[in-house]
């Protein structure tokens, strides 16, 4: 045991960096596989929870490929647990000097059982669209925490100051407003999905809202967020905030891809592949937004 404790890192090294990136990847991947469950109508492939059926913990041949897909998504939760535990353990000897990493890994680890419970409730409520939507919201929160984890691993926790150039439009306010509109876009997107055809099961309830109206309402905050991001990029470039400008350019590219996919899926009748790609891009957009917000603060000059 002592040998293992001595093996744990006392500084942020390659092991910690790999743990951070793995955390981000698996937290994003679970959204993709969860989308696959819904888009293949496999949401009730395992009709009970926590067991797959009333008599079996695992899927049975009678459940068919829907059961395999749903059970496979459940198994991925155990991968998340292993990654979360490994990340937390790797931070243990760093917890005094890197309390930020300690709390991040702890919160991410606690988020996984919370997600599992919400997933179970969604099955027990026959895929109620609001419960399924909450499931996605928690996933987005975990993607945000994972992004912060990766960022802090590379940038450290030294004191930082706000990048606040003397302009008519204050950079932090513009970017935080853009982030707010990104979140509004996601929330309306959840409601839109809850009113559409991809319920996860043929008998799953829908929220009864007007899908066509929601599609339009979903686009307005997205375009607003892009416009605000462009303004933030102009300010960042003008004042040579290089790291922030790079993050904003990445965010705009992802937003452009997201808008293109959104328009295409709407006009093509919501094909499953495009809807799944739209979900993946939503995770990447929120991660890029988080990265941009983190880069609003630059290292403080020494006294």
Mean pLDDT of 117-146: 93
Confidence (pLDDT) at 43: 77
Confidence (pLDDT) at 166: 61
In percent, how much of the chain has pLDDT > 70?
A: 94
Query: 279 burial class (0-12, 13-18, 19+ CB within 10 angstroms)?
Result: buried
Report residue 163's pLDDT band, with 50, 70 and 90 as the boundaries.
low
Q: Which one, of 236, 229, 234, lies nearest residue 165 by Cα?
A: 236
Confidence (pLDDT) at 148: 97
Max CA-CA distance within the chain?
69
Parallel, antiparallel or unpaired: strands 297-299 and 160-162: antiparallel
For residue 121, give every residue at least 6 positions away whose Cβ sits within 8 Å of its Cβ, in sequence order, or none. Answer: 131
Among 168-172, 225-229, 232-236, 265-269, which is the least confidently predicted range?
A: 168-172
In percent, how much of the chain has pLDDT > 90?
A: 59
Q: What is the mean pLDDT of the chain?
A: 89
Answer whether residue 273 shows pLDDT above 50: yes
Could you tell me the pTM of the whole model?
0.91
Report residue 303's pLDDT band, with 50, 70 and 90 as the boundaries.
very low
Confidence (pLDDT) at 302: 46
For residue 84, give every residue at least 6 positions away whose Cβ sits within 8 Å of its Cβ, in sequence order, or none. Answer: 23, 105, 108, 109, 112
């Amino acid at each position: 045991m002592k040998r293992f404790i001595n093996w744990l890192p006392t500084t942020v090294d390659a092991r910690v960096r790999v743990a951070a990136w793995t955390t981000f990847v698996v937290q994003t991947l679970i959204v993709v596989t969860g989308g696959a469950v819904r888009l293949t109508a496999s949401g009730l492939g395992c009709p009970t929870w926590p067991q797959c059926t009333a008599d079996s913990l695992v899927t049975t041949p009678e459940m068919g490929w829907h059961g395999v897909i749903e059970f496979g998504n459940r198994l991925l939760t155990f991968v998340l647990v292993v990654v979360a535990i490994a990340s937390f353990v790797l931070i243990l000897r760093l917890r005094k000097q890197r309390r930020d990493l300690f709390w991040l890994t702890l919160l991410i680890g606690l988020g996984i059982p919370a997600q599992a419970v919400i997933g179970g409730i969604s099955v027990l409520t026959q895929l109620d669209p609001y419960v399924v939507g909450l499931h996605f919201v928690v996933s987005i929160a975990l993607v945000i925490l994972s992004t912060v984890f990766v960022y802090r691993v590379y940038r450290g926790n030294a004191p930082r100051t706000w990048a606040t150039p003397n302009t008519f439009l204050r950079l932090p306010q513009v970017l935080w407003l853009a982030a707010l509109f990104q979140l509004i876009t996601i929330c309306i997107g959840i409601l839109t999905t809850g009113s559409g055809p991809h319920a996860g099961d043929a008998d799953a309830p829908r929220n009864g809202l007007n899908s066509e109206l929601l599609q339009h309402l979903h686009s307005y905050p997205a375009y607003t967020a892009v416009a605000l991001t462009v303004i933030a990029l102009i300010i960042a470039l003008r004042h040579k905030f290089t790291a922030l400008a790079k993050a904003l350019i990445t965010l705009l590219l992802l937003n452009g891809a997201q808008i293109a996919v959104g328009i295409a899926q709407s006009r093509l009748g919501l094909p499953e592949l495009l809807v799944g790609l739209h979900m993946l891009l939503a995770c990447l957009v929120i991660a890029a937004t988080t990265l941009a917000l983190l880069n609003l603060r630059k290292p403080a000059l020494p006294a």
